[in-house]
Amino acid sequence: MTKPIRLAVIGMGKIACDQHLPSIAGTQKFELVATVSRDGKPSVDGVQCVRSIEELADSGIGIDAVSICTPPQVRHDIAQFAIEQGWHTMLEKPPGATLAEVIALRDAAKAAGVTLFATWHSRYAAMVEPARAWLRGREIRRAKITWREDVRVWHPGQEWIWQPGGFGVFDPGINALSIITRILPEPLFVTKSQLFFPGNQAAPIAAEVSMRDRKGVPVEMDLDFRQEGPQHWDIDVETDAGTLSLSHGGAKLSIAGVENRSEENAMEGEYPGLYKRFAALVWASVSDVDVSPLRLVADAFLCGRITMVEDFIE
């Protein structure tokens, strides 16, 4: 039996505590041996916590891999340091603040002979793979992404999300892009975008993005952080055999109005699926660094027309 991979989690914010720690605890493929947090306060009983990745390297703790859950603005230097230690590295989404950072990390990991995994957790939602399989070979006519959520509910106190490199509404929006780039057979290109910036913030609170694939199929995306009441994480794809609808972030699937309840190929959960994949990559000594969702976000900013809206006050 392969020994558990000795893992440290770096950045003990909401996503690490809510998703990563339970997923690690639920698998025998990893052994959590350390956490890294600026306050140095232990998050898991019996697991040592240090204040920085440099302190982790000097601690003498045996480390095989790290999972980096910091905000994207500081992720590159931490990941580069981890790669230099020979540690396999898993990146929360988005994998970096810029495309250049992620490509540099990919090249560094290849040169060092370690695994780099740029994760897209929404691709591991239960119905994403069934949706991809159903769309294969069908004529796709158009698609619409509606990703509207209340930032005060889902990102309370997360000031980094409003800073340059924090992505604003594209932080959840990139989840939709990770799904659409997985289920559609052709690559997508941004044709135009409208970005709505609060007067007091450096990242958009809403966006409207028009895309097409290389066959000319239109894909429209509507993102908004100001949604109150029902939240929307939906993708609709119109085809020659009816409309496929993914809802609840990819957890539910209906085709031509009929809900698909098949559990075939369904993952056991988004983050458990990520750790299952990370272990497989480490054991196979390969990397998985798909930048297509991040590239579309970058292009949305490149093509974007900026409209200023009212200040955002949490």
The answer to whether residue 95 scores a pLDDT higher than 60 is yes
pLDDT 10s digits, 106-154 = 999 999 999 999 999 999 999 999 999 999 999 999 999 999 999 999 9
**pLDDT confidence bin for 264, thresholds 50/70/90:** very low
Q: Tell me which of 41-50, 80-89, 162-171, 223-232 is least confident.
A: 41-50
**pLDDT confidence bin for 43, thresholds 50/70/90:** confident
Domains of the chain: 5-118 (3.40.50.720), 126-264+298-309 (3.30.360.10)
Pair 162, 201: CB distance under 8 Å: yes
Provide the CA 304 distance to its chain's centre, in angstroms. Answer: 22
Annotated active-site residue in 93, 110, 252, 276: 93
Q: Active site includes 41?
A: no
In degrees, rounded to 5, the angle at the alpha carbon of residue 189 between the alpha carbons of residues 97 and 271 is 50
**pLDDT confidence bin for 267, thresholds 50/70/90:** very low
The single-letter DSSP state of residue 226 is B
Whats the size of the chain, residue-wise?
314
Instruction: Please state, in angstroms and rounded to a whole number, the distance separating the CA atoms of residues 102 and 94.
Output: 10
Who contacts 137 (Cβ-Cβ below 8 Å, separation ≥6)?
A: none
Instruction: Please state, in angstroms and rounded to a whole number, the distance separating the CA atoms of residues 175 and 166.
Output: 14
